[in-house]
Chains A and B, each alone.
Chain A
Amino acid sequence: MQTAELADAGSALLRWIPLLPLLGSAACMVCAAVGWRAATRVIAPLAVLAAFFVSIAAVAAMLSGEAALIDRVYTWIEATPLSIEAAFRLDRLASVLTLIITGVGFLIHVYSVGYMHDDEDEARYFAYLNLFTASMLVLVLGDSLPILFIGWEGVGLCSYLLIGFWYKDLANADAGQKAFIANRIGDAAFLIGMFLLFWTLVDLGQPSLRFTDINAMAAALQSQAPGIVTIVCLLLLVGATGKSAQIPLYVWLPDAMAGPTPVSALIHAATMVTAGVYMMCRLSPLYVQSEIALNVVAIIGAATALLAATIAVVQRDLKKILAYSTVSQLGYMVLAVGVGAFSAAIFHLMTHAFFKALLFLCAGSVMHAMHGELDVYKMGGLRKQMPITALTFLVGALAIAGVPIFAGFFSKDLILESAFAGGHYVIWIVGLCAAALTAFYVFRAYFLAFEGESRVEPHRAAHLHESPSTMTLPLVLLAVLSLVGGWVGLPHGVLWGNQIDHYLQPSLAALHGGEHHLAGGTVLLLTLLATAIALSSIVLAYSMYGRSLGSADRLQQKFAGLHETLWNKYYVDEFYAAVVLKPYMELSRLCWQVLDAKGIDGAVNGLARVVGGVGDGLRRLQTGNVQSYALVMLVGAACLMWVLFR
């Protein structure tokens, strides 16, 4: 089926993109073992920078005429009818992610040099961070589902290791474990989906799990095995809800903030958590075959976007706010996939990588100055001491709120517009509500932290300072990207139009019946509406948190029940603990202490006792002298042999 597409050009360049950070990781591990901390500050960022340059070279080579570059390294697993090649493939879709991972990844590595400077386990940190980058690149560049899955589980491992990086605090270790297991639940569904897909393809005479083959077979799959595509897509979606923190598996992401803040920026905002969205876009030809699956995707995305945004509104921990914000924004991307706006999903993935990484790094900068304090109610007026952090945070906030000309404005608008154009009006309204909440909670955080009166505790106030340049420089660069990053996707007909959509088109599928195009006037109206909502939310946030907190407190008291529910995140963690964890523990105890110990062993020991009751001598013969019993048997056999053999 490969003949159907443009030729893939071979290139041994691709393997170096994940290999460089992998080698960097290995080098950092060696450094960690022998105690060369300082060396890792150079090795780790350089490894990612090198990967970035190789990526640029590879993308340039691809754009010079090929549909994709492919690098077949070796045959990994071969057992008829299964054959999995360790191969990488770079097409336009993968190129966007590759550049984000290595580019933003590099900035975050640089930032980490400042942030982790005084941590004695710095070398281990960089080893993990490089390993993460390598895994993420494998995920994105993998040529087949199993190769993607290597990266998929690899990033899960790194996430586990980095969330629990400060392992001495068991709460961190618990958070890491929760992340790993929630992800594994998704991964199990992912695997089952992969198995079902594989055998269905075998029956259709195409035993392959390469993306190009799957996508080429998508229509045939739907026509010859109706229903299977929907099941496969839904199983893969469950995998995506784990990795991309969607309902029902999103609960691990807020806890994941236990890790160092640059990790939150890189893994839990810019890259890893977008893997589910990427995977669904990668398989967009498959997803467009199933309307049911797409609708479920859209509903889950919209519900997650709204639910997480409502929780973010009342949180006081800056990183928690940003974490729920991430869950919510990922909901937007999933929603976009669900309405078939794949390029909009990737566009938002990209702008989100810029502004959310920026917001997290700003939070890290604040944390650095505040010695770990994250409660926004104990901040206030930080702009005076930390002007760069405040200004860059403001840029990030404007971007995520969807204020015109900032990056998030274009991508979010495109998603809402696509939902509207596709006739998904409920989804569109939900998305609009979430957008209003987004603008509100992020500016609530901004005003509480950086504006108004200082509420900083005196012992911290004295030490407030702007962060070192290794930290502020990445902030400034990301702020610039958060400003201009959206300009690659202007609305149709405006200046150069939607370049990113045009760029991604060859890699993505289109919905049946083609694109839904809205009249220019409608687009303008929708945009104005969204903008008005964002701006009024900002004004509302200012009026409540900009100067005094009186009105906010009164509101909180008036709706104490609602506030309590939101503050406790709808008690979902408690619900899971009561419905899943506790019963599982109890069942395990039952299996062990009752079934195993009393049931089976009781029966075995009881049997022995019954035998003992028949005759003590017999019992001794059977249990005490087993070796002689066996010996007698052997001697008997030997005698028999001798008799016959003689």
Chain B
Amino acid sequence: MLSLIIFAPLVAAIFVAALPSEPVAVARRAAFVFSLLPLLLSLLLVAGFDSSVGTLQFVEYAEWIPSLGVAYSNGVDGFSLWLVVLTTFLTPIVLLASWGDVHRNVKSYMCLILALEGCMLGCLLALDLFLFFLWWELLLFPMFFLIGIWGGPNRRYATIKFVLFTMVGSALMMVAILYLAFSHAEGGELTFDLLRLYDTPLSATEQSWLFAAFALAFLIKVPVIPLHTWLPDAHTEAPTGGSVILAGVLLKLGAYGFLRLAVPLFPQAAYEALTFMAVLAVGGIVYGAMVALLQPDMKRLVAYSSVSHLGFVMLGLFAFNNTGISGSVLQMVNHGLSTGALFLLVGFIYERRHTRMIAEYGGLWSVMPIFAALFLVVTLSSIGLPGTNGFVGEFLILIGAFRTRPWAGAVATLGVVLGAVYMLRLYKRVFFGEVTNEANRNLIDLSPREIAVMLPLIVMIFWIGLYPKPFLARIEPTTKVYLERVEQKIGSTRLAAGTGSEE
């Protein structure tokens, strides 16, 4: 089942590649239809997912390179389930949205998006460190080309920066993976099986260094300040679809990496890093919000808002309690939906006016009311208004963080105010006032296709906002298992009970 989900988009990519380049409509339609297949499969996965257990499900295991202890193994639990669905959900939306803005090498674009989807799914589902790393590295290629070929004028700088930042992190992570595997081999056999590596005996110093290496790779990916500067450049230059995937899923892989690898592998070190991580997270929330405020470019503004929002996600992860972590996992999905939607909306307006400068706009409400209304809903979701998805995630994260580190929870809560400041300022400058720029006077409101692109996102924004229970119910058991594992390692007994705090 899981392999099917991973390889369906990859096979689809090959199939689309085999299609003739002209007419482009064929490639577009074919890619879109193919992308519905993984979505369908992942929905079946949700249907078959047992929400009463927190351990890995649908586990697949096959020997791959026995001499190295490398296996092909996949599994899904509450942490990866919704991220998988998010990935398969966003891909068709991205493909549909690209009909408007990608006109060169359409076929290759479609292939790369599908290939990227496959790599991300592989990464999310892998249970073997070697396999994980393989997908982790592989997905750089499609992203690299997406920005490099369809990107903006400054794309060369952006791609290099993106790849270099990521490579620095993954190089260290690779060393750490090898060290870990060989340490494990000393006491037993060589293996890259994650679940077995969880029990590798390590000294405190070893744990700290290995955790640091993994953490660096993931912190860059998230990204956490001060490692975030690749993100605004990558986002600004990337085509709309690239930005949506980048913000929607790729960044989450960093946070997911902590949940799946860094923390359970080195719980002691992770727990000791709690305060440090909380400082980084809260710093990111405030700093991202402050820098976002004055950005003249809409896309850069949204990119910095991601830095701020991912700060919440990190804060939740390092709350080490159920509300914080479950909220954080949910917030990953929420951020994918809201920020993805924001990038799509920015893309729509860019297609019309070929500028993302906020100062070029103003008074758009009277010209494009539907666009304005949808933008408003997404803005509200982004600033976490109750009733939208953003609130549920933020609320759980903040309440969890407050338990573990009251100051962190309190400062982050004030960060919610700053979020409203920059988003409302953006909204005001784009939509309110008179139309001052003649070029905007005759803009056409969203087309049915564009509305169709947005509609699923809007529905999900309200669904998770009003009825998050089905989502949380599938996350929570896994959080419990995860916390029990951490508890066992650090000798505390209060985390999984949900009341846990350090004291």
- Which residue numbers of A lie inside 8 Å of B, CB to CB? 33, 74-82, 146, 149-150, 153-154, 157, 160, 164, 167-170, 172-174, 177, 180-181, 184-185, 187-188, 191-192, 195-196, 198-199, 202-203, 584-585, 587-589, 591-592, 596, 599-601, 604, 608, 622-623, 626-627, 629-630, 633-634, 641, 644-645
Could you write out 29 A-B pairs with CB less than 8 Å apart? A76-B466, A76-B467, A76-B468, A78-B469, A79-B322, A79-B472, A81-B322, A81-B323, A146-B395, A150-B386, A164-B428, A167-B431, A174-B428, A177-B424, A180-B424, A181-B421, A184-B417, A187-B416, A187-B417, A188-B416, A191-B413, A588-B291, A589-B294, A604-B229, A622-B164, A626-B160, A627-B141, A630-B167, A641-B65
Q: Which of B212-259 contact A (CB under 8 A)?
A: 226, 228-229
Contact A600 B229 (CB under 8 A): yes
Contact B295 A80 (CB under 8 A): no
Contact B434 A168 (CB under 8 A): yes
Interface core residue of B167, B406, B417, B431 (most chain A CB under 10 Å) = B417
A645 CA / B159 CA spacing, docked (Å): 35
Interface core residue of B386, B413, B468 (most chain A CB under 10 Å) = B386
Given known A-B contacts A78-B469, A591-B287, A592-B291, A195 and B420 have beta carbons under 8 A apart: no
Which chain B residues border A181 with CB–CB below 8 Å? 417, 420-421, 424
Question: Closest CB of chain A to B256's CB: distance in Å?
Answer: 19
In the complex, what residue of chain A is closest to B498 when comparing beta carbons?
Answer: A80
Which chain A residues border B181 with CB–CB below 8 Å? none
Which chain A residues border B396 with CB–CB below 8 Å? 77, 79, 82
Which chain B residues border A164 with CB–CB below 8 Å? 428, 432
A168 CA / B364 CA spacing, docked (Å): 10
The contact of B473 among A78, A160, A589, by CB within 8 Å, is A78
Which chain B residues border A589 with CB–CB below 8 Å? 294
Contact B434 A600 (CB under 8 A): no
Contact A591 B472 (CB under 8 A): no
Question: Closest CB of chain A to B165's CB: distance in Å?
Answer: 8
Our count of residue pairs bridging A and B at CB distance below 8 angstroms stands at: 166
Given known A-B contacts A157-B380, A604-B229, A634-B137, A167 and B432 have beta carbons under 8 A apart: yes
A184 CA / B394 CA spacing, docked (Å): 14
A75 CA / B472 CA spacing, docked (Å): 12
Contact A79 B323 (CB under 8 A): yes
In the complex, what residue of chain B is closest to A178 when comparing beta carbons?
Answer: B424
Which chain B residues border A644 with CB–CB below 8 Å? 65, 67-68
A641 CA / B130 CA spacing, docked (Å): 12
Mark interface residues in B423-450 (1 if CB within 8 Å of A CB, else 0): 0110010011110000000000000000
A74 CA / B414 CA spacing, docked (Å): 30
In the complex, what residue of chain A is closest to B410 when comparing beta carbons?
Answer: A192
A116 CA / B133 CA spacing, docked (Å): 63
Contact A167 B433 (CB under 8 A): yes
Mark interface residues in B130-145 (1 if CB within 8 Å of A CB, else 0): 0000000100110010
Which chain B residues border A82 with CB–CB below 8 Å? 323, 396, 399
Given known A-B contacts A627-B144, A630-B167, A79 and B409 have beta carbons under 8 A apart: no
Contact B417 A185 (CB under 8 A): yes
A630 CA / B137 CA spacing, docked (Å): 8
A184 CA / B398 CA spacing, docked (Å): 15
Question: Closest CB of chain A to B67's CB: distance in Å?
Answer: 4
Given known A-B contacts A192-B402, A600-B226, A173 and B432 have beta carbons under 8 A apart: yes
In the complex, what residue of chain A is closest to B323 when comparing beta carbons?
Answer: A79
Given A167-B431, A188-B414, A195-B409, 14 more contacts at CB 8 Å?
A77-B395, A77-B468, A79-B476, A81-B323, A154-B386, A168-B366, A180-B420, A188-B416, A191-B398, A192-B402, A192-B409, A604-B161, A604-B229, A645-B65
Query: B285 on the interface (CB 8 Å rule)?
Result: no
Query: B499 on the interface (CB 8 Å rule)?
Result: yes
Query: B107 on the interface (CB 8 Å rule)?
Result: no
Query: B385 on the interface (CB 8 Å rule)?
Result: yes
A172 CA / B326 CA spacing, docked (Å): 40
Query: B387 on the interface (CB 8 Å rule)?
Result: yes
Contact A81 B499 (CB under 8 A): yes
Question: Closest CB of chain A to B484's CB: distance in Å?
Answer: 13
Query: B293 on the interface (CB 8 Å rule)?
Result: yes
The contact of B164 among A185, A587, A626, A641, by CB within 8 Å, is A626
Which chain B residues border A641 with CB–CB below 8 Å? 65, 68, 70
In the complex, what residue of chain B is closest to A641 when comparing beta carbons?
Answer: B65
Which chain A residues border B417 with CB–CB below 8 Å? 181, 184-185, 187-188
A59 CA / B229 CA spacing, docked (Å): 58
Which chain A residues border B365 with CB–CB below 8 Å? 167
In the complex, what residue of chain B is closest to A633 when comparing beta carbons?
Answer: B137
Question: Closest CB of chain A to B441's CB: distance in Å?
Answer: 14
A606 CA / B438 CA spacing, docked (Å): 42
A297 CA / B497 CA spacing, docked (Å): 37
Query: B363 on the interface (CB 8 Å rule)?
Result: yes
Which chain B residues border A167 with CB–CB below 8 Å? 365, 431-433
In the complex, what residue of chain B is closest to A640 when comparing beta carbons?
Answer: B68
Which chain B residues border A150 with CB–CB below 8 Å? 386-387
- State the 4 A-B residue pairs at the shortest beta-carbon distance, nearest first: A173-B432, A80-B498, A195-B402, A150-B386
Which chain A residues border B469 with CB–CB below 8 Å? 74-78
Query: B163 on the interface (CB 8 Å rule)?
Result: yes
Given known A-B contacts A76-B467, A181-B421, A191-B398, A199 and B163 have beta carbons under 8 A apart: no
Question: Closest CB of chain A to B368's CB: distance in Å?
Answer: 13
Contact A588 B290 (CB under 8 A): yes
Contact B432 A170 (CB under 8 A): yes
Query: B392 on the interface (CB 8 Å rule)?
Result: yes
Given known A-B contacts A77-B469, A173-B428, A600-B226, A168 and B363 have beta carbons under 8 A apart: yes
In the complex, what residue of chain A is closest to B148 when comparing beta carbons?
Answer: A627
Which chain B residues border A154 with CB–CB below 8 Å? 385-387
Question: Closest CB of chain A to B124's CB: distance in Å?
Answer: 21
Contact B322 A80 (CB under 8 A): yes
Given known A-B contacts A168-B434, A180-B424, A591-B287, A78 and B67 have beta carbons under 8 A apart: no
In the complex, what residue of chain A is closest to B140 when comparing beta carbons?
Answer: A630
In the complex, what residue of chain A is closest to B174 when comparing beta carbons?
Answer: A633
Question: Closest CB of chain A to B24's CB: distance in Å?
Answer: 26
Given known A-B contacts A78-B473, A79-B327, A181-B420, A195 and B432 have beta carbons under 8 A apart: no
Query: B28 on the interface (CB 8 Å rule)?
Result: no
Which chain A residues border B294 with CB–CB below 8 Å? 585, 588-589, 592
Contact A591 B290 (CB under 8 A): yes
Contact B472 A78 (CB under 8 A): yes
Which chain A residues border B228 with CB–CB below 8 Å? 600
A626 CA / B416 CA spacing, docked (Å): 39
Query: B403 on the interface (CB 8 Å rule)?
Result: yes
Contact B431 A623 (CB under 8 A): no
Mark interface residues in B152-166 (1 if CB within 8 Å of A CB, else 0): 000000011101100
A77 CA / B498 CA spacing, docked (Å): 15
A524 CA / B386 CA spacing, docked (Å): 49
